[in-house]
Chains A and B, each alone.
Chain A
């Protein structure tokens, strides 16, 4: 019984939240890794792209809620998500036309793109703050829990409860669908194959008649879909605040690099590695040990390796270790 209780505590505070967070990071890292694979630069505006997509979705959600349209037990934001994706797609393609295309024609060095992406980050950040402000916004509605801690206790008769929030379930389901669609697209369709060819060997792809502008366009649209989905899911699960989206940049980059930049499977793996380590390193394991350990052996401290304020240090530490030992990432990304 104690073992079961310990397991439930672990599920409730570590495994379920980390899975949801990992799915959000994986979606974000997929966007970064796609841009890296096709356009060959690290996009610093990615966090703010997520914030922009989430913002549009929130505004549409509020509109729908105001009009009395809801999805019943599911959050209305899911209904608004396609609009958010479309708006973000327009923004990203527009940005590419106005900013990045010029440097592509010039064949500029990657670091110039990165600086340009800093400028884009400033502007997107400004737009988001201009429209929605800097404060926390909550936009989730519908059923809050699939299983609340109380119901779980009543059903199982255990001392500990396991809460499974709707936002967590939706995150996992939506992320699964998005990833499945992405891989189907990359592996099965003609456009997806041309994207992979372009990423592997640009010159060869050009020789075989692949239109680079089309590949780039499709990439930005995919990135818009991934970033908006990641942003909305993160916002549903926690809350929407422009600055936290900027700060997500670090774990997302860490995930993409740990998995291997340019490698989509690696991005997913990296997302979960970062999420699980971040949450388990900053979780206080006292309760778990209390259940498992022998009687009268209760620990004095919280058994927390690092305080939650240092969660960035975890992704950073993993990043450093990977850079030192295996700079191409776990799943062999692009060249060092």
Chain B
């Protein structure tokens, strides 16, 4: 597993470590850990995208959707169930969903099993339209009943009340399911079509999360999800912890917050290391070589008897599942689910920058890109503000241009990321740690 880590890679990782440690000295250790935790999650997302792009050359621009599905899993697994809502209409909502699914399956059966002709088309349309109205009738009534139960604090079905760590694999499974639907339709066509289909499914997933209040409260957000690690307040009142902090001579409030962040970092690190180990094993196995062979020349790979479409579907589902896992971890870290924060530029395109900059096809490269680009994404804003203050220093205080420039600092990020992506793609297309 260390074979792909040469001196150059070690140096680059050391450099990133220096950046993080430097942040600790210049700003605060709390900030460093906050960036580090999201950096770990970003690295996992980058690993997932690297599987799709680096191993197989699949272009997925719907990462945001898979990440959001992971977040949904965190809510559905960890929140306590809302008994009243279940009693009011939970079963009816589920029945509605089953009817909806049955309609789609029925239509597909009609289409595949019947001989072609106008009768088939008419029958399929009848099944679809009739099924849709039955679905809406059952489903809407159930939703209305669920959402009317205490809408200010619940108004949704709640979750299963299980430990939130279980949500991580569940998030992966949800994302894998969505990936299966997309892969089945768009794989095997031009690469651009997969891109557009994933772009679409991501928008739709976000629209569902924002509007289906019965599912995860929509834009009312689900907050205070249970945590896998202790709360700061509990730590501050625990004798053992206070004794330990006193022995270190640190401030209990800061120390508790640092401890919680370290605990998260530990959990995430375990997942990241396990994933790196698995993906390195996979990449260096016959399966990994087959994947790269397919990527480099689909025609000759299929002439050798490899089922290109099935392998593409497989890797697409795997990569998306990793993104879903990362999404569940992120929602766990935030301990809230806010559908409004899912922005494609932040969750889809930024991950792409990480993979391209880090080195597509190389797992370590993707991880490095995840840490480096996330650090930059966070730090570009204060750096940009500093730059702008420098530029505007000579301007009169009440000038319109000065205010405008200072306000516009927030948008420096997009410019910088675009520049980095284009520059790396042009001058170092294989990334910082190239594929061997």
Contact = CB atoms under 8 A, between A and B. Distances in A.
A41 B185 contact: no
- Interface class of chain B by DSSP: helix
| Interface size class of chain A, counting residues whose CB lies under 8 Å from the partner chain | 35 or more
B211 A307 contact: yes
B299 interface: no
A29 B411 CA distance: 28
A73 interface: no
Given A42-B195, A133-B407, A309-B207, A119 B414 contact: no
B203 A316 contact: yes
A99 B422 contact: yes
B348 to A, nearest CB: 9
Contacts of B186: 323
Contacts of A309: 207, 210-211
A115 B210 CA distance: 29
A184 interface: no
A313 interface: yes
A122 B210 contact: no
A257 interface: yes
Interface string B65-106: 000000000000000000000000000000000000000000
B407 to A, nearest CB: 7
Nearest to B426: A102
Contacts of B59: 111, 114-115
Interface string A108-122: 001110111011111
Interface in A255-272: 257, 261
| Interface size class of chain B, counting residues whose CB lies under 8 Å from the partner chain | 35 or more
B313 interface: no
B415 interface: yes
- Interface class of chain A by DSSP: helix
Contacts of B192: 41-42, 110-111, 114, 261
Contact of B196 (A112, A120, A257): A257
B203 A250 contact: yes
A249 interface: yes
A206 interface: no
Contact of B352 (A102, A118, A120, A313): A118
Contacts of B189: 323, 327, 336
Given A123-B415, A323-B193, A118 B349 contact: yes
A119 B418 contact: yes
B425 interface: yes
B207 A123 contact: no
Contacts of A123: 414-415, 418-419, 422
A109 B192 CA distance: 11
A99 B426 CA distance: 8
30 contacts: A42-B196, A44-B195, A99-B426, A102-B426, A110-B191, A114-B59, A115-B59, A116-B425, A119-B418, A119-B419, A120-B418, A120-B422, A122-B414, A122-B415, A122-B417, A123-B415, A123-B419, A125-B414, A126-B412, A126-B413, A126-B415, A133-B407, A133-B408, A257-B193, A312-B204, A313-B204, A316-B197, A319-B197, A319-B200, A323-B193
Given A119-B421, A309-B207, 4 more contacts: A122-B349, A126-B412, A254-B200, A320-B197
Interface of A: 41-42, 44, 99, 102, 110-112, 114-116, 118-123, 125-127, 129-131, 133, 246-247, 249-250, 253-254, 257, 261, 301, 305, 307, 309-310, 312-313, 315-316, 319-320, 323-324, 327, 335-336
